[in-house]
Structure 1
Amino acid sequence: MAEEPRPDRADGNLPRAAPAGVSTRRHPRRRRIVAVGAVLAVVAASAVGVVWWRLNGNITRVDVSGALASDRPTKVAEGPLNILLIGSDTRVGEGTSDAASVSGARSDTTLVAHLSADRRHVTVVSIPRDSMVRMPPHCDAKVPKAQWTVQQFNAAFSMGGPACTINTIEGDTGVFIDHFAVVDFNGFKGMVDALGGVPVCTPKPINDPKAHLRLPAGRHVLDGEQALGYVRVRYTEGDGSDLGRIKRQQAFLSSVVQEATRTSLLLRPDKLYGFLDAATRSLTTDESLGLGEMRDIATSVQDTGVGNIAFVTVPTETYPQDPNRVQWTGAAATLWTALRQDRPVARPSASASPSATPTQAALTVSPADIRVLVVNATGVSGLAADIAAALRVQGFAGVTTGSVADRPDGVVVAYGTGQEEAARTVAAAFPGSTSKEDATLGQTVRVTVGAGAKAVVEVPNRLGSQPLPTPTAPVPAPTGSIVARTADQDICS
């Protein structure tokens, strides 16, 4: 009698027979591959974690909140971001989080980077170190502004570090500073070397023993040591002023942006790590500006075209009491107003995104369907009425007028959420105007008219044929020119 087959499963059932032609062999090789893959995934994740931990740990953080003034400018929620960048000749706060430890260092370069709320443009403002400005005596934030004294700008960092510099900038400009970062020169050299060098253009030969730099005229690719000498050259190049050096620094920063874009730095882990490691090892920031926040900021501006990154120097003139020092001109007030109002200070270049030239496409909203508020920011009586009349003739409905105390240059067309097409129609009437979104406006398009505004022109989809009335109020000339260099300009320009 044949022996019955025994079940080999815990449930007592017999195993199912494999279909004909199908092997019942196990696949140990496949299991090994899966296991190795899982291990590699864990290792990769751990490596990323270690890199992140190391880079984040490189950064020195300083708490300056207790040293900031109590009457700071108002911070606009979900608005623009202003970051104070300081190039220093020493490692600020080395091994400590004490705000007082930053005193005594010297600031060689001071920049305010303004990132617009919509991240469509970035303005980097250079503040000359020789500027004579008002600041709190002994960097005491409790001293009322009425008792501030005129001192050389870079004395603020030497006396009170980032906190005193922030108090001085905010008190003199009304621009709220969200974060600060201090980079020492060793980190600067490392970042340049991590990029593989940065191209520069020298119209004339440079021979500066103090900067340890000799270069013939022409184009060069500088390593970190040479680049540091290049941006610090002062006494043997140009007029020997800080203003000449700032121009070279701005041209150099433009080249850095171009080089990072050309080499796809963000897509090259090998180069990116070297760049970030050099940067973070020499970086001191406020307590809330960590690697995660920096990543978020970088991500938010990744679609900002290089043509929409502008480098500007605070407009200055000779300081009467000392010809070796400078003071800010009236145009500086225009610059700071533009930053407070989140307006670009330079027209986008030809390489800017199509959204920067909103009147190229056909207009889709009729003037009859648009409410417009014309705001006179020139102080000239009757100017808003002239502009309103020129708009009404073209069929714009519900045009109202107003005025403000600020004195910006140019024309800004502001519009509420979903009103961009209506704003394009309005902007077509104002040559050279700048458009920006303002969620507080609702369905009204606000036109702020400042000094230097051009006369209203006919829009392509105007209603009626009555000619535009002749203006009666004069438009004042711009308060001063603000020269901007965009990051896409040729390095030899």
Structure 2
Amino acid sequence: MTAEHQIHNAPAQRPTVPVRTSPQGRGQRRKRPAQPSASRRRRPRSRKKLFLAATAAVIVLAVAAGGAVYLRLSGNINTFDGKGLSHHRPQETPGDAQNILLIGSDSRSGDNAKLGGGKDPVGRSDTTILLHVYADHRHAVGVSIPRDSLVDIPPCLLPDGTWSQPRTNAMFNSAFTLGSTAAGNPACTQNTVEALTGLRVDHTVVVNFAGFAAMTEAVGGVPVCLPKDIHQKDLNPNRLTQGNLVYRKGEQKVSGRAALDYVRLRHGIGDGSDIGRTKRQQAFISSLIGQVKKEGFSPTTLLPLANAATKSLTVDPGLDSAGKLLSFAMSLKNIDLANIQFLTVPWQYSGARIALVHPDADNLWTTLKEDRTLDGKPTEPRTKQKAAPAPTTSTVSGAGITVAVYNGTTTRGLAARATDFLRAQQFTVSGTATASTQNHTTTVIEYGTGLKTQAQTVAALFPHAQLHPIPGNQINLITGQDYANTTTTSPAPAASLPSTVTAQARPANRSICSDLSYG
């Protein structure tokens, strides 16, 4: 965009010389000194006006250009409909902590078709990471959720305006495909993650192939490493011959299509599993963050990156402008690479699928909910919450009983408190959320057909609770003000993570050539 500015000078005005009186000649006008020519007289003032006008023009252009950039970036951003989010979400993230859901979509629609191969237009989630940014904004943990994980998918909004039926023991990435649209169903994946973890997702960001490739080019490439040479057959197992060398063994920098192929590479390395590929994706993201931090968290660095990213981003309504995205990025600038860790949710093979390991996975979510680092340390002083009362009988055991917990009051953290209490008695908690109404004075236990005996076991821990039968096959605990008012002098012990979980955490400053696969 160019702009032309004309500067018009007003005609020079002859200055008035005052009449001087003196003893030598009253009333005589003082002789005027010789005046320079018109061209010489106007030049200094003209230069000054030109300078001021040019400076003003530059400022106006800079502001206009900045505004144009922000408008262009904001115009690039797509948002998904917040109406699809669950009506029973976990409580808001306390303090300044944030949970951001990062989804990599492998849809082949639009520009993605040139990068991903295949012609399936339905958006699918190829990679999912839940990033927990601690309240001190100096620590962060990214937890990868394997796409083949078997989870429960809650009701989700479909394109025709109806809600799907809940699904049990379904593949995690099938949540994103509900509705079979090119844009996918980010709200459904967010609902699934919230139900799985009990953590409220503050923001969701979906990046497709084209956006990912553009971002790697915007930062000048990303350093990566490979344990062996990679040929065309490793990218396409159906190929009959080995083909040409695609990546050489060792360190190198990749961008665009080459970067995309790197993070999607599965065969020819380790056991060829999707879990092994997840390790390389974590290493890649660490390297990408390091590359951005190397360039500096400034608008000069972030704007080109944002321009590349926003062309292919889909975000929740809370990140629907360039200003919000850049502000969020700038809020992460003080996190040192050593304090950013990545790991995969505790898992084990279940045939060809992935089963999450409990209680390790539950303890991981609790650790993040309490804003504790993986080694169990708080990142800032926290006000001690009232702990749950001790059970009324030492014989209460919740083994084999599954309960969903809802906070029926305005007391923050009450559902999490009840969850820890139940788990301490060996109950399985399927999820926590805020109840549809928060004016419950008495705790309520809802139970489905044939579950009255189990509900009575739950009630043994909540002496004033009321039991109500409901349709279905689940037990819901809705905490009331009676539970909020209970106290004890012994706080509930914090959940601990076994070394098998913490040992696999990858700090973002680890060597790009280490721990790249299984097998």
TM-score by length of 1: 0.65
1:68 to 80, 85, 93: 85
Alpha-carbon distance in structure 2 between the residues aligned to 1:373 and 1:336: 18
Alpha-carbon distance in structure 1 between the residues aligned to 2:384 and 2:61: 60
Output aligned runs, 1:213-252, within 5 Å: 214-252=246-284
Shift of 1:243: 0.6
Letter in 1 for 2:303: Y
1:86 aligns with 2:103: yes
SS of residue matched to 1:27: helix
2:501 to 470, 481, 487: 481
1:324 aligns with 2:352: yes
Q: 1:246 to 1:88 in 2, by over 3 A?
A: same
Deviations 1:443-464 (A, max 9, x none): xx99874466xxxxxxxxxxxx
Output aligned runs, 1:14-29, within 5 Å: 27-29=45-47
Alpha-carbon distance in structure 2 between the residues aligned to 1:220 and 1:447: 51
Whether the 8 Å CA contact 2:90–2:200 is kept in 1: the answer is yes
Tell me the residue number matched to 2:147: 129
Letter in 1 for 2:291: E
1:108 aligns with 2:126: yes
Letter in 2 for 1:175: L
The alignment covers a number of residue pairs equal to: 366
Letter in 1 for 2:498: P
Alpha-carbon distance in structure 2 between the residues aligned to 1:28 and 1:182: 55
Q: 1:93 to 1:193 in 2, by over 3 A?
A: closer
Tell me the residue number matched to 1:343: 372
Tell me the residue number matched to 2:175: 156
Alpha-carbon distance in structure 1 between the residues aligned to 2:138 and 2:327: 15
Deviations 1:130-152 (A, max 9, x none): 101111367689679xx641100
Letter in 2 for 1:204: K
Tell me the residue number matched to 1:170: 194
Alpha-carbon distance in structure 1 between the residues aligned to 2:499 and 2:293: 36
Shift of 1:108: 0.7
Alpha-carbon distance in structure 1 between the residues aligned to 2:96 and 2:142: 17
Letter in 1 for 2:211: G
SS of residue matched to 2:287: helix
Q: RMSD across aligned C-alpha pairs, in angstroms?
A: 3.9
Whether the 8 Å CA contact 2:230–2:247 is kept in 1: the answer is yes
My pick for the range that moved more, 150-159 or 282-291, is: 282-291
Alpha-carbon distance in structure 1 between the residues aligned to 2:218 and 2:48: 41
Unaligned runs of 5+ in 1: 1-6, 95-102, 349-354, 359-370, 382-402, 408-444, 453-476
Unaligned runs of 5+ in 2: 1-12, 21-29, 112-120, 180-184, 237-244, 395-419, 425-488, 515-519
Alpha-carbon distance in structure 1 between the residues aligned to 2:291 and 2:384: 44
1:194 aligns with 2:218: yes
Alpha-carbon distance in structure 2 between the residues aligned to 1:215 and 1:186: 21
1:297 to 305, 328, 331: 328
Deviations 1:367-389 (A, max 9, x none): xxxx9999899x9x9xxxxxxxx
Q: 1:194 to 1:214 in 2, by over 3 A?
A: same
Letter in 1 for 2:280: R
Alpha-carbon distance in structure 2 between the residues aligned to 1:357 and 1:162: 32
Alpha-carbon distance in structure 1 between the residues aligned to 2:106 and 2:384: 52
**Percent of aligned positions that are identical:** 39
Whether the 8 Å CA contact 1:201–1:491 is kept in 2: the answer is yes
Output aligned runs, 1:30-45, within 5 Å: 30-45=48-63
Shift of 1:345: 2.1
Tell me the residue number matched to 2:427: none
TM-score by length of 2: 0.62
Deviations 1:435-478 (A, max 9, x none): xxxxxxxxxx99874466xxxxxxxxxxxxxxxxxxxxxxxx93
Shift of 1:268: 7.2
Q: 1:114 to 1:373 in 2, by over 3 A?
A: closer
Alpha-carbon distance in structure 1 between the residues aligned to 2:86 and 2:298: 41
Shift of 1:204: 2.0
Shift of 1:73: 0.6
Tell me the residue number matched to 1:3: none
Whether the 8 Å CA contact 1:84–1:180 is kept in 2: the answer is yes
Letter in 2 for 1:219: E
Look at both structures and tell me which one has the larger radius of gyration over its CA atoms: 2
